[in-house]
Amino acid sequence: MTLLALDDVVSGYDAIIAVKSISLEVGEGEVVALIGSNGAGKTTTLRTISGLVRCRSGSINFDGKDLTKVPPHAIVKRGLSMVPEGRGIFHRLTVTENLHMGAYVRGKADPDDLERVFSLFPRLRERAKQLGGTLSGGEQQMLAIGR
């Protein structure tokens, strides 16, 4: 089953077209990588999927619903988010508190979700009460993805 589909998507910044006619499909459970040189449009594509950059033409569908005119906060509520390079964790919150912040749009963290993150990243379970800012760079990236 296709979970995410881009069809002939064009996007960019002001008068600059950064992504021209990209199409791709990601099935449920698949892992996909966007590979390309600097300036190839990888980040712009992800920002377009997330609603942070306007899709000028084409379509973006997630779980069977069109996202092309959906604001970023509503895309996150639908379960689609992006982890940028800078990590953006809350340095003065514990690992567990950071993970709870990731569930903010739902009102509270589901214990099953926390367990899933801890099973994917066992190191985070070991560091659950540690402040995010004291984690190594790799551990912070795990925390950002888990959040």
Per-residue pLDDT tens for 97-122? 999 988 777 777 677 889 999 999 99
- pLDDT of residue 124 exceeding 90, the answer is yes
Determine the pLDDT at residue 86.
75
Listed range (17-26, 71-80, 81-90) with the worst mean pLDDT: 81-90
**What does pLDDT average to over the chain?**
92
Annotate 57-68 with b (16+ C-beta within 10 A) or e (fewer). Answer: ebebbbeeeebb
Tally of CA atoms within 13 A in the half-sphere of 77 that contains its CB: 9
Query: pTM of the full predicted structure?
Result: 0.78
Per the structure block, which two tokens stand in for 98? 């950071």
CA dihedral 48, 57, 41, 47 (to 10 degrees): 0
Per-residue pLDDT tens for 9-57? 999 999 999 999 999 999 998 989 999 999 999 999 999 999 999 999 9
Determine the pLDDT at residue 93.
96
Q: Long-range contact list for 112-120, CB < 8 A, 24+ apart?
A: 117/146, 120/146
Determine the pLDDT at residue 121.
97
What end-to-end distance do the CA atoms of the chain give, in Å? 25
- Do 11 and 19 meet the contact criterion of CB atoms below 8 Å apart? yes
Q: Comparing C-alpha atoms, which of 65, 41, 74, 77 is closest to residue 23? A: 41
Determine the pLDDT at residue 3.
96
